[in-house]
Structure 1
């Protein structure tokens, strides 16, 4: 290129799009490269969750609260077609023990800026008229929201304007480095592209891209399925899930885990997740996972028992061992930054991640302490 970019972002999902958007807003020129299409990986297989309700007090919750603010700002400047809905979430408990644990969890979250409202069992159907009548109670989280993730990624890239160049269908095959090990750009299936900075926003393939740069980042794929029903009237008003979903998110188990998350969409279909299992990049259909999800969803919303599921799709969450993403410069490889490993929270955490990357590149004011997200925190040095 006659005028090489300031920054190369590898990955055109919502995280990579947010990195490109905020970098362009900061005055940088950006090239986004993806071997597939926009939102062709994890983003396109996501439900669009923007959650604070499932976050333990700590660095991820702080990141999620900041990101929630940014999503509200983005909803004002991006087209309505991204389907941003500040509809809130409802976490429900089936018995007294689960309700006590949920109430304690919400109380700890409230001390860190999360808005919570405890809802007794007899009032649940005021919020969700079609909920099962025998639930003990729940907690309403008004800060939870939803977005259409593929559209959000596309419009973030479009909003970056003429400072962005998009190169799709190109696979990055090498990270170029200089004599001192500093990043100099990338080699793709069509040639070399030079830039002083490269952002690893490759999602579940972030570990592979890190190895191309000569560093270790232990990103693993965690498979999940989503059921999509026929279009319905607004049967489910909010994002509704059972309290055991929080434990599944934090689990290190490789085995199949399911905990229904049920939500309506503006277009009509109801989305039913979420399953988790570590099976590598195997996309095979798991009838057992779908059976469990359907059964759990019907227990929450009996009205769904007679509703047809039209399709299902699978995706891979980029999983890191401590359940925190890797965000920011990699001290092992000057010029390399990471924005991956968000597991199932990448859509919700994308704007905050993008802002951190942009501020890191421009010596700006970091919005929060990013030490917990250091890419080298797992102790691995350079890849062999």
Structure 2
């Protein structure tokens, strides 16, 4: 990249959120440069299951964003759905106990008030949804809006579409600092040269806190590690939907640093079955955890007994960009005018990326965003971080 490059917007990070923002900003007519220190989709975006969920969101701003993102995926991006294997498979949440079922029914009641489509499923109806489910479950809830995509394909194609609209993507361009005019951010310094811009968007995923610190502001995004197991290929539609236990919703909302696991099982077009989900705060430690992997396998087998005889081919891990209040950071930063953020989506980043990208583009071009950004304000966090992030 030549020194002196200029743009209307620099997007830091070529993950799914950065790619969505780059696409919608380019579509709105902005000159966009994406600066990525490594490879596209080289972080969290390549280490998840590609879920687009409303089922795991409690009433509040994140559910509002999830519903809005659903509309963007299904309307604004509908013509491109085949590029990233959009699969509107639906989600089935199951409860193994009466208290768990009562909590699930209460959650569904609240979600319906906010526009979520959810159907109560009686115990005898569960085999009709998933024939291989364990017997003895107390009931469930079916969410037809839940869907899945192939996240690496989402990133690759959104960036390709953005390039077709004039955007430039620069890999191997690590951001080392910010250009300033007084308090105002006017661009970035990178290992591949300076880029002057009217606005800079921090979409650096789990590293967004470090990027923000380069601008002298605090955004407490921290990594939360999770593992996924991948099985040998199975016959098509062995598992028809995304299926998970009701306690998964509570695990998502928990701030516990210790290992948490709850069974999440779904099939893919290739026949492999993906098994999650684990959560633990261990910084950026990539050491395989036999405890996490064993717990995932055992809980998946309890949910689908036929998995006992299925071989796991591999495991992989990723780091979810976690904020203390479990809400993403989206919008302009008043502490550093010219700096914007789109980060901290934790495990929901794939699903929320489309809505986040469109909202950012609307706000950057002077429009009124379809969804208010106040709940996601970058300066909403008082005090200091409670844990250090390993470098």
| TM-score range normalised by the length of the shorter chain | over 0.9
- Distance in 1, matches of 2:267 and 2:76, equals 22
Does the residue aligned with 1:6 lie in a helix, a strand or coil? strand
Answer yes or no: is 1:363 the counterpart of 2:379: no
Answer yes or no: is 1:325 the counterpart of 2:328: yes
Does the residue aligned with 1:78 lie in a helix, a strand or coil? helix
Does the residue aligned with 2:213 lie in a helix, a strand or coil? helix
C-alpha deviation, 1:136, in angstroms? 0.8
TM-score of the superposed pair, with normalisation by structure 1: 0.97
CA distances 1:7-61 after superposition (whole Å, capped 9, x unpaired): 0000101000000000001000111111111110000001001000010101100
- 8 A Cα contact 2:5 2:195, kept in partner: no
CA distances 1:248-292 after superposition (whole Å, capped 9, x unpaired): 000010000000110111111111111000000001100000000
Answer yes or no: is 1:261 the counterpart of 2:243: no
Query: Where do 1:223-238 residues align within 5 Å?
Result: 223-233=225-235, 234-238=237-241
- Distance in 1, matches of 2:296 and 2:126, equals 22
The runs of 5 or more residues in structure 2 that have no matched partner are 385-391
Does the residue aligned with 2:294 lie in a helix, a strand or coil? helix
Answer yes or no: is 1:173 the counterpart of 2:211: no
Aligned to 1:243: 246
1:68 pairs with one of 67, 70, 77: 70
- 8 A Cα contact 1:78 1:159, kept in partner: no
Does the residue aligned with 2:73 lie in a helix, a strand or coil? helix
- 8 A Cα contact 2:9 2:197, kept in partner: yes
C-alpha deviation, 1:100, in angstroms? 1.0
- Distance in 1, matches of 2:198 and 2:367, equals 18
Does the residue aligned with 2:313 lie in a helix, a strand or coil? strand
TM-score of the superposed pair, with normalisation by structure 2: 0.95
- Distance in 1, matches of 2:137 and 2:176, equals 52
Q: 1:323 to 1:167 in 2, by over 3 A?
A: same
Query: Where do 1:260-299 residues align within 5 Å?
Result: 260-299=263-302
Aligned to 1:11: 13
- Distance in 2, matches of 1:340 and 1:65, equals 18
Misfit runs of 4+, over 2 Å? 73-77
C-alpha deviation, 1:189, in angstroms? 1.1
- Distance in 2, matches of 1:368 and 1:316, equals 27
C-alpha deviation, 1:170, in angstroms? 1.7
Does the residue aligned with 2:263 lie in a helix, a strand or coil? strand
- Distance in 1, matches of 2:115 and 2:143, equals 12
1:205 pairs with one of 195, 204, 207: 207
- Distance in 2, matches of 1:265 and 1:74, equals 24
C-alpha deviation, 1:309, in angstroms? 0.6
- Distance in 2, matches of 1:74 and 1:251, equals 33
1:348 pairs with one of 336, 346, 351: 351
1:31 pairs with one of 27, 33, 48: 33
- Distance in 1, matches of 2:258 and 2:44, equals 20
- Distance in 2, matches of 1:321 and 1:79, equals 33
Q: 1:239 to 1:339 in 2, by over 3 A?
A: same
Does the residue aligned with 2:6 lie in a helix, a strand or coil? coil
